[in-house]
Structure 1
Amino acid sequence: MSFKGVVHGWVHRYFSDEEAVIFALLLTLFFAALIFVGSMLMPFLTAVVVSYLLQGLVVQLQRLKIPEMLAILLAFSLFMSLLVAAIFWLLPMIWHQLVSLIRELPGMLRITQDWLNSLHESYPQLISQEQANSLLNDAIRELRHIGQVLVSLSLSSLPSLLAWLVYLVLVPILVFFMLKDQRKLTDFVISLMPRKRQLMTQIWQEMDAQIANYIRGKSLEILIVAGVTWICFSWLGLNYAELLALLVGFSVLVPYIGAAVVTLPVALIALFQFGFTSDFVWVIVIYGIIQALDGNVLVPLLFSEAVNLHPVSIILAVLFFGGLWGFWGVFFAIPLATFIKAIVNAWPRALQETASSGSETPSS
C-alpha cells in the first residue's frame, strides 16, 4: 500500500464524519490549553480528580437511600477530614522524619567510609584506597549540593508557600461546587457542543468510565500499598517507616519507574540500620512481596484491562508531561495518558457504531 493510501485510510478511519472533525478541533484546543496554561489550571485539574474520586462515594451513598445533598455533604466532609489530617498530622510527622534522616547522613557516611576501608583491606585487588576515597568524596559533594538546594528552597519558599495556601483554599471550594452543581456544569458544557453529538457522547461515555476507574482504583491502591508497607516496616522495626511507606504508596502513581526509584532509599536505610543481617534480608523480601502482590494481584483486581498502559507509553507520558510541568506533570502523566488512550480506542469504534446505526435506520 502506498503512503498516500495509508494516509487516506487513517483520515477515513478517524475523520470520516463532520462531528469527528469538530471533536478533533475541540481536543486540539484542550491540549493546547494544557500545554500553554496547564500550570495555572493545576488547582482546577486537582479538583476534577478529587471530584471524580468523591462522586463514586456519593453514588454509593445514594444507593443506600441517602438524599443526594446529604450524600454530597458526607463525601465532602470525609475529604476535608482527610485533608486536615494530612496537613496537621501526616505532613509534620513526615517532615520530622525527613529532618531526622538528614541529620543522620554524616553518621551514614562514616559507616560507608569504614565499610569501604574494610573492603579495601579484605580485597585490595577489588578496590583501591584511592577509589574508596573518590567514592566517599563524590558522596560528600552530592550531600553538600543537596544541602545547598534545601537552603535555596527555604529562602525562596515564601512564594511557593503562598501558592500552596491558595491551592488549599481553591481546591476544596472547587470540589464542593463540582459535586453540588455537577448537573448544571454538565448541562453548560453540553450547551456549548454542536447539536449533532452522537459520536462525542459515545466517546465521552467510554472515557468517563475509564478515567473514573483509573482515578478511584489508583487512589485505593495508594492507600492499600502505603498502609500495608507501614504495618510491615513498623513490625520489622525499620526507622522512618512512615516516610518510606508514603514514598512506596505514591510510587504506584508511576508504575515501574516509581518502584525502581523507591527501592533504593528502602534498601539503603535498611542496610545502614541493620547491616548485612537477617533483618535486612527480611526488609528486602517483604518489600519485594508487597511490590509483587501490588502488580500481580491488587492492580488486576482494581483496574479493568481497558486502562492498562504499556511501559513505553508510561515512560513517554512521564517524560513529556514531567518536562512540561515538573512535579505536577509527573503526577498527572498517567491520567492524561489514560485519557489519550481512551480517545484513541473509542474514536474509530464510535464512528463505526454511528455509521452502522445510521445504515440500519429504515428509510421512509
Structure 2
Amino acid sequence: MQFSPAQIRAATWLGMGLLAWLLLAALSPVLMPFVLAAVLAYALHPWVERMAARRVPRWLGAGLAITVLMLVMLAVALLIVPVVSKQVPLLREQVPALLEHLNLWLTPLAARFGLDLQIDVNLVRDTLRKLVSGHESELIDGLLSSLRIGGSAVLAIVGNFTLMPIVAYYLLLDWDGMVGRVKALVPPRWLEPTQRFLDETDDVLGQYLRGQLLVMGILAVFYTVALALCGLKLALPIGVFTGLAVFVPYLGFGLGLVLALLAALLQFQSLTAVALVGAVYAIGQVVESMYLTPRLLGERIGLHPIAVIFALLAFGHLLGFVGVLIALPASAVLLVALRRLQTLYVGSDLYQDGK
C-alpha cells in the first residue's frame, strides 16, 4: 500500500504527539514545579516588561515581581496562623461544654420517641485532650502514614515549592529569548497562523487572569462583610483568606469553611450561630458557582458554565491538584485551538461536499 506525503506527515506528527504525551505522563511528578513556575512567569511577565520599559534592569524587575508574589502568598498563609493557634487549643475546653448543652436538649427530645440518645462528653473530652495536648506529632505521623506519604515525599514537596520561584525567576529573565527560540522551531509556512493563535491565546488568558482576580476580590469582601454581620470576631482574616483561596477551586472554599465553623463554634457556643455561618458559606458557594465563575471567568474566556465544571473535574482527574489549578487557563487554550479547527473543518472539502 502506497502512502501519500500528506499521510506520512500526518502519521509523523501523530507519532510525535503520542511520544510527547507519554513522556509528559512519565515525568509528570517532576514537571509539577516547572509547570507552576511557567504559569507564574507568564502571569508576572507583563509587570516585568512594564518595569523594563521604565529602565528597571530585567534581573531586578524579575526579582521584585517574584518577591512581591511570595510576600502576598506568605501574608495569605499567615492569615490562617492566628486563627488556628488561638482557636484550636480552646477546643478542649469549650467543645465539651457545648456538647453538654446539646445533651440537655437532645436527650429529652429522643426520649419522646422511645430512644436513649446521649453524647458521651467524657469520651469527646479525652479525645480532644489527646489531640491538642502534646500528641500533635503522633497525630501528624498517623495522618502521613494513612496517606502513604513518607518523609522523603514530604521533603520533595517542600523542595518543589522552593524550586518553583527560582525557576520562575530564570524564566522571567529569559522570557523573550525563550519564546523566540520556540518560534524558531515552527516551520516558516506555519509561522503566521501560529503567531495569530498565540496572540489570541494570550488575549484569552489575560481576560482569565483579570476575571479570576475580580472573583477573588468580590468573594473576599462578601465573606468578610457577611461574617462580620454574623458577629464573628475573626471575620476579617477568615473572610479575606476564603476569598483569596478560591483561586484553588473547592480546596480553598473548604478550608475557609472549616476555619469559619470552628471560630463560630468556639466564640458563640451555639448551634444556631454555627448554622448561620454555614449558611453564609452556602450562599457564597452558590453565588460563586452559579454566577461569578461562569459569568466573570467562563464568559470572559468563552466557556459555557457546564464546560467550566467539566474542565475542573477532568483536569483534576487527569493531573490531580495541579490539574485543578491549570484547568481553566488550559481550557482557554484548548478553546482557541478548537475554534481554529472548526474554521478549518467548515472550509474543508469534507464539510463543503455535504452541501
**TM-score (norm. length: structure 1):** 0.67
Unaligned runs of 5+ in 2: 1-5
Number of the residue aligned with 2:208: 214
- The one-letter code of the counterpart of 2:165 is P
Cα separation, 2, equivalents of 1:265 and 1:51? 31
Which of the numbers 229, 235, 238 marks the counterpart of 2:223? 229
- Separation in 2 of the partners of 1:31 and 1:104? 51
Alignment partner, residue 3 of structure 2? none
The amino acid of 1:53's aligned partner reads A
**Structure ranking higher on relative contact order (CA contacts 8 Å, 6+ apart):** 1
Q: Taking every aligned residue pair, what percent have the same amino acid on both sides?
A: 18
Which residue in 2 is equivalent to 1:306?
Answer: 302
C-alpha offsets along residues 37-91 of structure 1, whole Å, 9 cap, x if unaligned? 12211221111111121123346x37xx93475578446414313414544x553
* Equivalent residue for 2:70, pick from 73, 83, 107: 83
Give, in angstroms, the shift of residue 290 of structure 1.
4.6
Q: Give the alignment's Cα RMSD to 1 decimal.
A: 4.6
1:319 paired with 2:317, answer yes
Question: For each residue in 1:299-320, what CA deviation from the matched residue of structure 2 results, as whole angstroms up to 9, or x when unmatched?
Answer: 6346614245342342233233
Structure 2 residue 93 is the aligned partner of structure 1 residue 95: no
* 1:160 partnered with 2:147: no
State the distance in 2 between where 1:83 and 1:49 align: 14
**Structure 2 residue aligned with 1:9:** none
1:191-229 deviation digits (Å, cap 9, x = unpaired) = 333444266555444444333433453245335534653
Q: Which amino acid is the alignment partner of residue 180 of structure 2?
A: D
| Alpha-carbon distance between aligned partners in 2 of 1:72 and 1:221, rounded to the nearest angstrom | 32
| Cross-structure match for 1:183 | 176
Q: Deviations over 1:267-322 (max 9, x none)?
A: 45424422448865764565456546545357634661424534234223323322
Where 1:178 maps in the other structure, the secondary structure is helix
- The aligned amino acid for 1:80 is T
Q: 1:177 to 1:217 in 2, by over 3 A?
A: farther
Candidates 30, 39, 62, aligned match of 1:40: 30
Name the SS of the counterpart of 1:304 in structure 2.
helix
Gaps of 5+ in 1: 1-15, 360-364
TM-score if structure 2 supplies the norm length? 0.68
The aligned runs of 1:83-162 (5 Å cut-off) are: 83-84=70-71, 86-87=73-74, 89-92=75-78, 94-107=80-93, 109-124=95-110, 125=112, 128-130=115-117, 132-133=119-120, 148-152=138-142, 160-161=154-155
Change (3 A) 1:278 1:114: closer
CA–CA distance in structure 2, aligned partners of residues 108 and 205 of structure 1: 58
- Aligned AA (2:241): L
